[in-house]
Amino acid sequence: MIKNIIFDFDGVLVDSEILVAKAFAKYMQNFGVVIDEKEFVNFAGKKTVQIIDILSQKYLIKDQQKFFVDIMDIASNIYKKELTTVEGAYDFISKSNLNLFIGSNSLKDRIIDGLERVELNKYFKPEQVYSFDLVDKPKPDPDIYLKAIEDNNLNKNHTIIIEDSVVGVKAGVSAGVKVIGLTAGGHWHENRDEKELFDAGAFTVTNDYQKIPEIIEKS
């Protein structure tokens, strides 16, 4: 019987992956580079600094510190104005009677701020939030999930992880926990193949939060 759920944050609880893509697409225009927001799906789940490093090398951007500061500024403004929950997430969370946790490659302060903005903070206390700044290695390493499991003495067989990215699914699988792939976020456009989550190790994939209770019941 499943008693615990560990959610990824960006793209699983809040529909922020598409907002980050929008910020990067807007910034790259400064270098005469036109990138469709959909192209950023390949970066889903990665830390912002990793994306900046990849793009800097590809487009010969020398000042990565300025790149980081500028992206954070653009993304923050978009985040404040446009952040919403992933469709179905709020309803699912509000009705759940399971133990809920978050395991994310984002910063803890940013996660807590995002939870407040979409009014999910009543369901997740700060001590239920696990982020990459609390561990040595971010996803796809399993450290974030293992810390949540160990700190709360969770039985892996009674726990489910919900993820939207390849790196996240790999992290969950490496932690020894069943992973549900979720494709309900805005960054999962119609031409993106859910097979990548299956290939990463998800035992099932859904684009609808309403189907998750039945999936959990059968797990």
User: In this predicted structure, what is the pLDDT of residue 47?
Assistant: 76
- Nearest CA to 11 out of 80, 66, 88, 85 is that of 85
End residue of a domain, out of 55, 82, 109: 82
Read off the pTM: 0.84
User: In this predicted structure, what is the pLDDT of residue 104?
Assistant: 97
Co-location of 123 and 202 in the same domain: yes
User: In this predicted structure, what is the pLDDT of residue 199?
Assistant: 98
Angstrom distance (rounded) from CA 123 to CA 111? 13
Co-location of 76 and 30 in the same domain: yes
Co-location of 76 and 112 in the same domain: no
Please give the structure tokens belonging to residue 38: 């959909």
Co-location of 148 and 62 in the same domain: no
Co-location of 202 and 181 in the same domain: yes
Angstrom distance (rounded) from CA 168 to CA 155? 20
Angstrom distance (rounded) from CA 124 to CA 117? 13
Angstrom distance (rounded) from CA 65 to CA 74? 14
Please give the structure tokens belonging to residue 181: 């792939």
User: In this predicted structure, what is the pLDDT of residue 41?
Assistant: 66
Which domain, by its residues, includes 65? 17-82
Co-location of 100 and 123 in the same domain: yes
The Cα angle at residue 91 between residues 186 and 198, in degrees rounded to 5: 50
- Average pLDDT along the chain, 219 residues, taken 10 residues at a time: 97 89 87 78 75 90 91 86 95 98 94 96 97 95 98 98 96 98 89 93 98 95
User: For the chain, percent helix, then strand, then coil, each to nearest 5?
Assistant: 50, 15, 35
Residue 213: cis peptide before it, omega within 30 degrees of 0: no
Co-location of 156 and 174 in the same domain: yes
User: In this predicted structure, what is the pLDDT of residue 18?
Assistant: 82
Angstrom distance (rounded) from CA 211 to CA 218? 11
Co-location of 78 and 143 in the same domain: no
End residue of a domain, out of 34, 65, 82: 82
Co-location of 142 and 191 in the same domain: yes
Number of domains in the chain: 2
Co-location of 66 and 76 in the same domain: yes
Q: Which residues of 171-183 are buried (b: 16+ CB within 10 A; e: fewer)?
A: bbbbbebbbbbbb
Answer yes or no: are the C-beta atoms of 188 and 208 closer than 8 Å: no
